[in-house]
Structure 1
């Protein structure tokens, strides 16, 4: 059995819970390294706000930062994400089995209900629900009805 550090999983899930941080991780995916200014460019936020997001990602172990001169670059680290995926895979097996049973139940229910209901060709047309409206009287502009005594 595999044991997971609850603290590490909590940090990983907390880090990826935010859409901005997920977008940053997606930007880092498949790239060797990206400068912080490149990471900050698509977001309408200040550089200190970007740095706070990067701190959360770094604390979770999802990125590493390297400083060369005045340039700081970030790189994706996959290990914590792999641990989270392993943890989630246990529940994926459970939910897959549950969803398979649900699909079988729905298919069975659909098959039995389609056999019980008549087809549209066998049905007879329904009569109209109401008859046509009769003639209506027009009111005169003077407010009195010429047909009234």
Structure 2
């Protein structure tokens, strides 16, 4: 995908452990520049920057220029899509486990 593509799938964006850690770090701070994020990873600034770009394409990260540095902050609203998906399957499994429990209780009788 191109760097200007802001339609990256949020599930794709959070699939990588590095990006999940970036989300966590950004959730704990109002905003952070790249040079404060990079030491948390065993990779260079360019690699961390590429991960931030993917998060930005998914709408999970917003950046702004302050002088010569770019600061990043979390936009958690796209995570609602994941929450909705998980909630559906939570309900699915709860319903099916209740049915299983009822069947097992009927067999005991």
**Shorter-chain TM-score: which interval?**
0.7 to 0.9
Q: Tell me, what secondary structure is at the counterpart of 2:78? A: helix
Let me know the Cα RMSD of the aligned residues. 2.4
Match of 1:34 among 32, 35, 41: 32
Match of 2:93 among 92, 95, 98: 95
Shift of 1:51: 0.8
How many residue pairs match? The answer is: 102
Shift of 1:29: 1.0
For structure 2, list consecutive stretches of 5 or more residues without a partner in the other structure. 1-6
Question: Which structure has the highest helix share of the two?
Answer: 2
Match of 1:80 among 74, 78, 81: 78
Q: List structure 1 runs of 4+ shifted beyond 6 angstroms.
A: none
1:1-149 matches, within 5 Å, as 11-102=9-100, 104=101
Shift of 1:100: 3.4
Q: Residues 53-103 of structure 1, C-alpha deviation per residue, up to 9 Å, x if partnerless?
A: 00100000001011111121111001111133123322221122123344x
For structure 1, list consecutive stretches of 5 or more residues without a partner in the other structure. 1-7, 113-149
TM-score, normalised relative to structure 2? 0.79
TM-score, normalised relative to structure 1? 0.60
Alpha-carbon distance between aligned partners in 2 of 1:76 and 1:64, rounded to the nearest angstrom: 6
| Structure having greater relative contact order (Cα 8 Å, sep ≥ 6) | 2
